[in-house]
Amino acid sequence: MTRTAEKNNSIRTCLACGAERRREDLVRFVVAAGGITPDWRGVLPGRAVYACPTPACLDRFCRLRRFPDRFFSGAPVFAVPRENMMAWVQERAEESLLHFLRLARKSGALMPGQNAARAVTAPAAVLISRDTAERTASLVMRGLPDGTVIIRWGTKQRLGAALGLRPLGVAAIAASPLASRIVHYASIANLFGQES
Ligand SMILES: [Zn+2]
């Protein structure tokens, strides 16, 4: 495969802001007969358009009154209306986050517990629940090598339950493709989240 073919295969353009990003980093929408259906997992057949997973781009996307002529002419009808879009994305992002956390746990890439953050050699990311005390959080962070991504997300209860464990405040994720998906979906969940 040539470089160009590879690029064409994986790079898509956000219809709202024009940014070019990797396909898996955008939200996919399938276009059929003037209907615009969000396709979070990227599995629905059909022509597709893309938008950045940010409140600004999705809001602008949902306000589009015209799509490029190659899709259709006339006013688009959105399967998820604008007023529900932010909540919809947040729910999908959290589902994906939990899915990848479970996968990471199953494959041994995720180690639960405060000590794990130190025990994992060069963890790619450390997830700390929002209800972990600041003092504990800064203790955990102090020991981490430069470049470790810190994610604050969820509660001890949710994080533990997601992994089939007791309430859990800290989990370390070893460098792996799963780690980058976890960081990706956690940042989207936080971006759209209502929790402070
Ligand atoms: Zn965009």
CA of 127 relative to ligand 1 center, distance in Å = 27
Q: Are residues 98 and 61 in the same domain?
A: no
The predicted structure's pLDDT at residue 1? 43
Task: Give residue 194's pLDDT.
Answer: 60
Distance from Cα 19 to the centre of ligand 1, integer Å? 5
pLDDT at residue number 2:
45
CA 14 to centroid of ligand 1, rounded, Å:
5
Count of the separate structural domains present in the chain: 2
CB–CB of 105/160 below 8 Å?
A: no
How many whole angstroms from 26 Cα to the centroid of ligand 1? 8
Q: What is the pLDDT of residue 196?
A: 42
CA 165 to ligand 1 centroid distance, Å: 37
Count the residues in the chain: 196
Quick one: how many helices (H) and strands (E) in the chain? 7, 10
CA of 100 to the centre of ligand 1 (A): 24
State which residues form the domain around 133.
Answer: 89-192
Ligand 1 midpoint to CA 10 (Å)? 16
* 99 shares a domain with 73: no
What's the 25 CA to ligand 1 centre distance in angstroms?
11
Residue 102 to residue 180: CA distance in whole angstroms: 14
Q: Are residues 98 and 187 in the same domain?
A: yes
CATH number at residue 183: 3.30.1330.30
Over its length of 196 residues, how does the chain's per-residue pLDDT go in tens digits?
444 444 557 999 999 999 999 999 999 999 988 899 999 999 999 899 999 999 999 999 999 998 888 888 888 999 999 999 999 999 999 999 999 999 999 999 999 998 887 777 778 999 999 999 999 999 999 888 888 999 999 999 999 999 999 999 999 999 889 999 999 999 999 999 865 4
Whole-number Å distance, alpha carbon 61 to ligand 1 midpoint, is: 9
Question: What is the pTM assigned to this prediction?
Answer: 0.88
